[in-house]
Structure 1
Amino acid sequence: MTVTDSASTDRLGDHSVAAQLLRSSDTVSYDPLVEVDWETPLDKGHHGLSPEWSTLYGTAYWNEMGEDLQKALTRQEAASVASTGIWFEMILQQMMLRDFYAKDPTDPDFQWALTEIADECRHSIMFARGAAKLEAPAYRPRRHVIELGRAFKTIASAETAYAAILVAEEVTDVMQRDWMRDDRIAPFIRTISNIHVVEESRHMKFAREEVREQLAQAGRVRRMKSSVIVAAAAYFIIKSMVNSQAYAAAGLDVERSLREARANEHYKSMLRSSCAGLMEFLSSVGLLTRPAVAIYRRAHLI
């Protein structure tokens, strides 16, 4: 019989989620360089994302396009989403490295953080190669968003860092669950989506636990402040997902595309539905305050 003191028992309990995630990662993880078919040439008869997830789906402009142009658009939109994903994954990695800097390396939380960072490195390379295979240019957020991201990754901590991570991952998770099952989409994009969904599910679980833990003793003022910071981060992430130059790369009129995308109620409803679970979680931890809700409404996430 092994006797464990209460401090050790508490420590094991504290790390149960991280330990579980480490075991899961050992059991099911992917190497995109091996799993994804990078060699087969791009078949332009496929979409890049489910048409229903296009920013122009259901608009007059979409209905005027031929099928080939619709497919070209969704391929560029998919590449833009991937590029935005790379941008935020680099922010995520830096926030997690700062959070665990000089902490106990024997702690499962520490080891999980490094595992997640390693996942994100592979994902970023996977997205970069995917965008290149889609024959897309380098899409980047607008300059002021890049600089805001630079500041955010430097100062965000605790619940603001992990809730922002959760926002970015939840939205793409719902999108990619659709994409990985859609045979209208290029097979290599479906594989990329499947890899990302499987591995990001662990990241989201860790982020949720961190947010709960960080806010366990937080007061009203702190929750209010954090809720606004997280909502602002969500706004810029969502608004950066599809770069305006994706329309130009697909051969569309950029001004008309932007005008119709801004008014597209179908796309807004897709975003709202993708965030239903996220908003429920944010509400449960006190991060869905009135000012935050106003920002989420502007981003069409609620």
Structure 2
Amino acid sequence: MPVKDDTKDRERTAERLLTASTKNWFDPLTEIDWEAPLLPDAFFIDEERCTLYGTPMWDRLGPQQRIDLSRHEVACTASVGIWVEVILMQLLVRHVYDQDMTSRHVQYAFTEIADECRHSTMFGSMITKFECPNYGPGRHAHALGRFLKTVASGVQPFAAALIAEEILDAMQREMMRNETLQPLVRDVARIHVIEEARHVRYAREEVARRMPNLNRAQRAMCRLLIARVAHVTARNLIHPGVYAAVGLDPRAAAREAWTNPHRSRALQDWGRRLVGFYEENGLMGGPGLALWRRSGLVAPDYRPGKSTNGG
């Protein structure tokens, strides 16, 4: 298959994103009132999106324990967000290393890296404000992230980056619109959603440009890689330590959370747009489907729809 030269299209995309970046960017250290006290009775995420909502274990929790669990779950997700952004920054640096540093495509990559630095600082400040630990993704996932950031190349970094970007984006769009939540949570979500929209556009267009140029073996490898990333990311959004923080048995609570239909519905809602994009670009299928089903981001009986880029 001949490789299509999309340089001009890529440069136009980068030019638009650079222009948007000059108009809508935020310094979270000054944009957010970090000194404002947290509201004593407000949840940090919609209680129906808490991983234990609707379970017998949830029913046994008192009102303050439920709010505290929401606080720890949001902090944990933010710590995983930092982990993902650190990986993405390294992937972007590797991506531009052999390219024309004066191109708009590369200059937007540098702009996105700067955005991700601010986002990581913002998430870290929020975790500190919540008085929660830096849960992170867990030791095994941390090691797999090291592998990904070292070996991923071509379309793989952009396809893989979309997983966490789109899941967090869908989650935070809900959070920023929910006026009953902590104002700090809504402020952080708003900033991240506005700036992350550009990052998603950058990655999506790169995936759409590159996928038609892959041969069958490269497609299969990319499908399997992103399936593994989806599985690891979704399974590590919430560390069992969040349950211990509110007085629960962490192993028992984690088991109950993963069999909770409310939790499954949340993950599938947050992953729906991402999965649709992957289907359109031939990235769902093959042996990796078992990983997708175990991730919770699709239904247990999921079958990909007809793709525009099958093979």
- TM-score (structure 1 length as normaliser): 0.94
**Pairing partner for 1:235 from 218, 231, 236:** 231
One-letter amino acid matched to 1:189 = V
The alpha carbon displacement at 1:223 in A equals 0.7
Aligned to 1:30: 26
Give the conservation status (yes or no) of the 8 Å contact 1:84–1:141. yes
Task: Report if the CA contact (8 A) 2:92-2:109 is conserved.
Answer: yes
Identical aligned residues as a percent: 40
Aligned mate of 2:271, from 272, 275, 285: 275
Deviation string, structure 1 residues 22-54 (Cα, Å, up to 9, x no partner): 111111111101111101123332212121221
1:113 corresponds, among 79, 104, 109, to 109
- Pairing 1:108-147 to 2, within 5 Å after superposition: 108-147=104-143
Once the two structures are overlaid, the 10-residue window that deviates more, 65-74 or 114-123, is: 65-74
Q: Match of 1:246?
A: 242
* Aligned pair partner of 1:199 in 168, 183, 195: 195
1:213 is paired with a residue whose SS is helix
Which moved further from structure 2: 161-170 or 44-53?
44-53
Please state if 1:212 is matched with 2:208.
yes
2: CA distance between counterparts of 1:183 and 1:252? 29
Residue type of the partner of 1:283? E
Q: Which amino acid aligns with 1:79?
A: A
Is 1:262 the counterpart of 2:258? The answer is yes
- Residues 231 and 292, structure 1, Cα contact 8 Å, conserved in 2: yes
Distance 1:252 1:69 in 2: 10
Structure 2 equivalent of residue 4 of structure 1: none
Deviation at 1:102, TM superposition (A): 4.1
In the alignment, structure 1 residue 288 sits paired with structure 2 residue 284: yes
Paired residues of 2:224 and 2:286 also in contact (CA < 8 A): no
Tell me how far apart the structure 1 counterparts of residues 6 and 245 of structure 2 sit (CA, whole Å): 55
Q: Structure 1 residue 18 and structure 2 residue 18: aligned? A: no
Deviations 1:207-258 (A, max 9, x none): 0111112212112221111101011011111111111101111232323311
Equivalent of residue 164 in structure 2, options 164, 168, 173:
168
Distance 2:66 2:218 in 1: 46
C-alpha contact (below 8 Å) 1:158/1:210 kept by paired residues:
no
Structure 2 unaligned blocks of 5 or more: 299-311
Q: What is the Cα deviation at residue 105 of structure 1?
A: 2.1
**Contact 2:155/2:207, CA 8 A, preserved across alignment:** yes
Task: Assess if the C-alpha contact under 8 Å between 1:180 and 1:191 holds in 2.
Answer: yes
Q: Report the CA distance shift for 1:139/1:10 in structure 2 as closer, same or farther (over 3 A).
A: closer
Q: Counterpart of 2:295?
A: 299
In structure 2, the residue matched to 1:159 is 155
Matched, 1:46 2:42: yes
TM-score, scaled relative to structure 2: 0.91
Q: Secondary structure in 1 aligned to 2:213?
A: coil
Paired residues, number: 294
SS at match of 1:243: coil
Q: Which runs of 4+ in 1 moved over 4 A?
A: none
User: Any stretches of 5+ residues in structure 1 without a counterpart?
Assistant: 1-8
Going from structure 1 to structure 2, the CA distance change for 1:152 and 1:214 (only over 3 Å counts) comes to: same
Q: Matches of 2:6 and 2:296 in 1, distance apart? A: 41
CA shift at 1:13, angstroms? Answer: 3.2
Partner of 1:75: 71
- Partner residue, 1:189: 185
Distance in 2 (alpha carbons) for counterparts of 1:10 and 1:170: 24
| More off after superposition, 116-125 vs 256-265 | 256-265
Q: How far, CA to CA, are the matches of 1:110 and 1:13 in structure 2? A: 14
Q: Secondary structure at the residue paired with 1:106?
A: coil
- C-alpha distance 140-11 of structure 1, shift in aligned 2 (>3 A): closer
